[in-house]
Structure 1
């Protein structure tokens, strides 16, 4: 806490143990990388920053909803199977 008081630009954020909401964030960064960064040629950091800002501005001006493609029951069933498999491995 003392360190955070001395370094005001850093902020602590609570992240739940099961952070499925991060999947949407990871997807956004994947799209940024695939659609703008990987295909680009940047001769300076400033050009890269400008390209990212342009992508963000365009993305924000044309928002789309994220649509889940699986039912909650299917996701929970998959999690249950994965936990059982991990429990089996850890008990061996």
Structure 2
């Protein structure tokens, strides 16, 4: 797991992280699964992707964070490391997060995706149907 804590969430920080995370895998095909946060699609990020065609972004459907594996990891990090913690400063919190990532990586095991594609598509269709109903109900 790779992670960084930054004081703000913006395109420049995301791009710097992306460059750092992909550097060890130069020349290899890399697939990055992302949510639809605007920092993931800034002009600078798009320009960098054009120069690095071996890196491909795949965006999860809006409202479907359960498809995003990082959301699962954030939940685990929160439950196992920071939820009931007391942190005297942001630096102490950041150290706790870094220590957790380092500890996780010492005995890292991949998550096993247990849902099949039909189950996933059924959930996506349900989200899309509910979103359409919501829009239709609010446009009258």
Match of 1:83 among 115, 124, 128: 128
Point out the structure with max Rg over C-alpha.
Answer: 1
Within the candidate set 26, 42, 53, 2:71 is matched to: 26
Which consecutive residues of structure 1, in runs of 5 or more, have no partner in the other structure?
A: 1-8
Query: In 2 relative to 1, CA 43–85 (structure 1 residues): closer, same or farther, beyond 3 Å?
Result: closer
Work out the CA distance in 2 between the residues paired with 1:29 and 1:42: 18
Note if contact 2:60-2:68 (Cα within 8 Å) is conserved in structure 1: no
Report SS of the residue matched to 2:68: helix
Normalized against structure 1, the TM-score is what? 0.66
Corresponding residue of 1:16: 59
Aligned to 1:74: 119
Residue 54 of structure 1: how far off its partner (Å): 0.7
Q: Is 1:47 the counterpart of 2:100 in the alignment?
A: no
> Could you list the runs of 5+ residues in structure 2 that have no partner in the other structure?
1-10, 16-44, 47-56
- TM score, norm. by length of structure 2: 0.47
Deviation at 1:71, TM superposition (A): 1.1
Higher relative contact order (CA 8 A, sep 6+): 2
Structure 1 residue 55: Cα displacement: 0.1
* Structure having the larger proportion of residues in strand: 2
Number of residues of Structure 1 aligned to a counterpart in Structure 2: 84
Say yes or no: does 1:58 pair with 2:95: no
In the alignment, the residues of structure 2 paired with residue 16 and residue 42 of structure 1 have an alpha-carbon distance, to the nearest angstrom, of 34
For 2:93 and 2:70, locate their aligned partners in 1 and report how far apart those are by CA, in whole Å: 20
